[in-house]
Amino acid sequence: MFNCKLNWFWLMTTGVMVAACTPTTIDTSGNNESNIAQASSIPNYPPMYNVEVKVCGDIIAPIRDEQRCINQNLRLWGPVKEAKLVRTGISLPSVSAVDHKVAIASQGCYPVYLQPSQPQFYWADTIIQVNRGSTPTIEIKQTQLSNQQIYELMTNRLTSRRIATFGGRGCEPAPVN
């Protein structure tokens, strides 16, 4: 009997100590110290954009929605200032189309440039065959990434198969005036 009272005594003492050490309020605002420390450890990044480039016109491309278009998705530092279609091939009499490339004015592309570079024209890694005598149109749609998205991208947590990276000879400075 004495042993049973002693066990209840220790059980009650342990319960009182646990209750005394438990906080009486719960922080539901999300502003606790660990969240603040984590948020402050994310550096501020320069602006980065997901850019969709659409070239349409009398080009060699599949017909979709009654148009011939080529789309390319890029990730660029800084906003796109301008895009140009530049002839890179030789116009031969026996060939109806001439090779062109898209040159985009930005501060470089990710992941080739891990930080913004000098603002200038850079080649997008797409060759577009334009039929002689035609002038295709270029449309650009850009969406700025949040600082958190850039952080996740830099730490390899953001995966997007939709965004193409520059490959081959893309993202080199383009000699465009």
What pLDDT is attached to residue 49?
Answer: 96
pLDDT tens digits, the chain, 177 residues: what are they? 555 554 656 556 665 555 555 555 445 455 555 444 455 688 899 999 999 999 999 999 988 889 999 999 999 999 998 999 998 888 777 678 899 999 999 999 988 888 999 999 999 888 899 998 889 999 999 999 999 999 988 887 555 544 555 544 578 888 887
Question: Measuring CA to CA, how many Å separate 79 from each of 31, 68, 109?
Answer: 33, 27, 11
CA dist 26 and 11 (Å) reads 26
Instruction: Give the per-residue pLDDT at 88.
Output: 87
Token pair 């189309």: residue: 97
- pLDDT, residue 140, reads 95
Q: What is the pLDDT of residue 12?
A: 62
pLDDT of res. 93: 74
List CB contacts of 174: < 8 A, sequence separation 6 or more: 86, 101, 103, 120, 121, 122, 123
* pLDDT in the model for residue 25: 46
- Residue 129: the pLDDT is 92
Rounded-to-integer distance, Cα 127 and Cα 8, Å: 82
Q: What pLDDT, on a 0 to 100 scale, did the predictor assign at position 145?
A: 95
pLDDT of residue 144: 97
Place of tokens 């997901």: 50
pLDDT at 146: 95
